[in-house]
Structure 1
Amino acid sequence: MKDESRATGKPGSAAGVNTHSKLEESGKAQPLDQKTSDDETLPREERERLWRIENAEAIAAQNEYVAKHGLPFAKYRQF
Structure 2
Amino acid sequence: MWDLRADTVIHSGTGVLQVWAVAYGPIPDEIELGGPGADWHVRVYCTGREDVARIVEDEGIAEGAEQYLIQFWPCQA
For normalisation by structure 2, the TM-score amounts to: 0.19
Structure index of larger Rg: 1
Query: Larger helix proportion, structure 1 or 2?
Result: 1
Question: Higher relative contact order at CA 8 Å, sep ≥6: structure 1 or structure 2?
Answer: 2
For normalisation by structure 1, the TM-score amounts to: 0.18
